Amino acid sequence: MNKAIPKIYIITTGDKQRMNRVEKALNNLDFEYVYSNNMEELKILEKKYRKRSHKFRQKAIMAGEIGAFNTHSKAWKLIVDSNQAGVIIEDNIDFLIEPSELFNQNVINLIYNCGLISFTDFRYKLYHDRPFIISSIKEKKPLPIICYGVSPERAENLLHSMKKTAYCLPIDKWLSIPKLCGINCFVNHISYAKRQKTLSSIANQKKGKKSFNLINIFFWGINKIKYNY
């Protein structure tokens, strides 16, 4: 297995101010931008996956949420193609350590041993001396994805699971449910990054339209039991 230093993939909408900010923080580290689709394309996907998402939650998935999901999956594909682990960050990241610290041998080993591990600050940490599986916490919180590492094997598993359940839920929630994403995702006990407070996520904050259709409510209940979320 190739345990070379992982490459950084930056999830972005192309906002120049955010890109300049992240580039300055990364200094001379090797990275690649992964761009979100334009809003017109995302609106088409929003309509396409509205019915699917209503069978997994009451509110429909929105274009911004689809954009985040789609862009992260592009990064997974790049990782699979490179056959080398990657560290995926969003362009609203606020580093808590020097970014170069993400590539010490302990961190590289964590990525390969866990498969997918978040290095993002998380208030519901189960342990403070070792990583833990996100689905093991009773609060059922989404996986924090401002900064996480993923091996090529687990990235391939995620892409495979997307064929059946992509866009049924926002990506952070999808990744917290093993029966949906197909893997166990970990959170590290040491935080290396957090969301910059003044910068919003690539996923918009607009709430999806609620469905009160009895058939959708029926499937919603069935899926909550089937996928345990």
CA distance 153 to 33: 21
Predicted local confidence at residue 207, as pLDDT:
65
Compute CA distances 166 → 27, 45, 90, 200, whole Å: 34, 11, 20, 23
Predicted local confidence at residue 4, as pLDDT:
72
Please, what sign has the CA dihedral across residues 82, 11, 103, 177?
A: negative
Predicted local confidence at residue 2, as pLDDT:
52
CA distance 147 to 8: 10
For residue 120, the cross-strand partners are 193
Predicted local confidence at residue 217, as pLDDT:
85
φ/ψ region of 137 (left if φ > 0, alpha if ψ in -120 to 50, else beta) reads beta
Q: Which domains does the chain have, with CATH numbers?
A: 7-227 (3.90.550)
**How many CB atoms sit inside 10 A of residue 3's CB?**
13
CA distance 165 to 217: 18
CA distance 42 to 26: 29
Q: Which is it for strands 93-95 and 193-195: parallel, antiparallel or unpaired?
A: antiparallel
Q: State the pTM of this model.
A: 0.92
Please, what sign has the CA dihedral across residues 120, 125, 131, 135?
A: negative
Reading the chain (229 residues) residue by residue, the pLDDT tens digits are 557 778 999 999 999 999 999 999 998 899 999 999 999 999 999 999 999 999 999 889 999 999 999 999 999 999 999 999 999 999 999 999 999 998 899 999 999 999 999 999 999 999 999 999 999 999 999 999 999 999 999 999 999 999 999 999 999 999 999 999 999 999 999 999 999 987 666 555 566 677 778 888 888 889 999 998 9
**How many CB atoms sit inside 10 A of residue 201's CB?**
19
Predicted local confidence at residue 215, as pLDDT:
85
